[in-house]
Amino acid sequence: MSIENNIIELGKNAKSSALEMKLCSSEQKNIALKNLIKNLDLNREKILKANKIDLENGERKSLSNPLINRLTLSNKSIDSLIQSIQDIIKIPDPIGITLEQWERPNGLSFRKISTPLGVLGVIYESRPNVTVDASCLSIKSGNCIILRGGSDSFHSSKELVNNITYAFKDAGLPEYCVQMIDTPEREAVDYLLKMNDYVDVIIPRGGKGLIEKINSTSKIPVIKHLDGICHVFVDKEADLKIAEKVVFNSKMRRPEICGAAETLLIDENIKDKAINILNPLKAVGCEIRGDEFIQSLDKDFKIANEEDWSLEYLDKIISAKIVSGVDGAIDHINNYSSGHTESIITNNEKTFEKFFNKVDSAIILKNASTQFADGGEFGFGAEIGISTDKIHVRGPVGTKHLTTFKYVVNGNGQERP
């Protein structure tokens, strides 16, 4: 079968299964998730063996350290996946909820009721954990899903889908509620993006190049996740001990994730304290690229060029700049941010309110690490991505965001005059 025909077959299967999914109970969906927990736990060795193949291939292809980090699975990361599934089980079923209701003077009663989106196409790179997170969030919200993982994570994703398929089938979910495009060929993505007769939404997770390509060629609505150029601004009225901790965690906890801080902004009124904030980063091997003042603080600090302010490093590198108060920080962020996540360190509520109102990003934190930009940390169990769009969802995308709605109108013979 050709790649095109194979993708069409996946689409047909998913669409028919999506109709069946609407009849699945909350209990069935939770049983499926519990089955998956058992499978992941029992089949750790197989999963890690498949992941080892991907890692060896990645080393042969000289993948960067951040990509290798994203690709790597371990017993700890399997434990983390299991915990995410347990959290998703606890989340109330988002389907069939009456979101609003009202009556009109003519006696008609209206209800707005949550329903599944239908079929999701999820395209992602080098992150096998997305295979599990996306599948679990999808079925919890009553959707079916077609997965297209990157070639770098092909063997890991395939083994995980095997575990998912058996778990969900044993719970009585539709046979094709989760499917994976079983080829690493790039043209498979092109065919998937044309399948607007079968797929309702495309959700990409990957680099800027992938997102831009999908957004420009897809015939299907896209929930976009652009690059994470995240900022931390240290205000003149910040608690500097909090600032040091938050900046360090924002950058160094996991430098390779989209919620990692890429730029540090410091109020000019406390620029003499900048070295105290930067030294802990330098001590663990983080490269500092700064403006002239920052660069003058240490011979190992490099001068930042214009490109640095709009780079998502995904590595142990941070750009740093002295700005003219909160207004200078706001101007810089709105010029260079990707609209993902920003944090302000301040004890002044009015300053925070100004920052919140004028910075146009999906997530704004006060006195907390940008690395909290994560669906699990928001209480969503996991995320299928972080949307930098403003329509249909913004920020971490969890189960309740993978829904749409229908209106039910009840009457007793009313005719419109």
Q: Whole-angstrom Cα distance, residue 414 to residue 103?
A: 13
Q: Whole-angstrom Cα distance, residue 140 to residue 398?
A: 10
Give the residue, 47 or 70, on which the prediction is more confident.
47
How would residue 80 be classed by pLDDT, with cut points 50, 70 and 90? very high
pLDDT of residue 21 exceeding 90 = yes
pLDDT of residue 271 exceeding 90 = yes
How would residue 388 be classed by pLDDT, with cut points 50, 70 and 90? confident
pLDDT of residue 1 exceeding 90 = no
Q: Which domains does the chain have, with CATH numbers?
A: 3-223+397-409 (3.40.605.10), 230-372 (3.40.309.10)
pLDDT of the residue at 395: 92
Q: What is the mean pLDDT of residues 394-412?
A: 95
What would the pLDDT profile of 152-179 be if each residue is shown by its tens digit? 999 999 999 999 999 999 999 999 999 9
Q: Whole-angstrom Cα distance, residue 30 to residue 27?
A: 5
Sign of torsion, CA 69 252 337 309? negative
pLDDT of the residue at 185: 83
pLDDT of the residue at 390: 84
* Residue showing tokens 């406390």: 270
Paired strand residues for 178: 145
pLDDT of the residue at 209: 79
Q: Which long-range contacts (CB under 8 A, 24 or more apart) does 75-84 make?
A: 75/44, 75/48, 77/129, 78/40, 78/41, 78/44, 78/47, 78/48, 80/129, 81/40, 81/129, 81/132, 81/133, 82/37, 82/40, 82/41, 84/132, 84/133, 84/136, 84/376, 84/381, 84/382
How would residue 391 be classed by pLDDT, with cut points 50, 70 and 90? confident
What would the pLDDT profile of 196-250 be if each residue is shown by its tens digit? 999 999 999 877 778 888 988 999 999 987 788 999 999 999 999 999 999 999 9
Closest CA to 326 of 303, 302, 310, 342: 342
Mean pLDDT lowest among 55-69, 128-142, 230-244, 297-311: 55-69
pLDDT of the residue at 352: 98
pLDDT of the residue at 272: 96
What would the pLDDT profile of 31-49 be if each residue is shown by its tens digit? 999 999 999 999 999 999 9
pLDDT of residue 100 exceeding 80 = yes
pLDDT of the residue at 207: 74
pLDDT of residue 263 exceeding 90 = yes
How would residue 85 be classed by pLDDT, with cut points 50, 70 and 90? very high
pLDDT of the residue at 105: 96
How would residue 279 be classed by pLDDT, with cut points 50, 70 and 90? very high
pTM (two decimals): 0.89
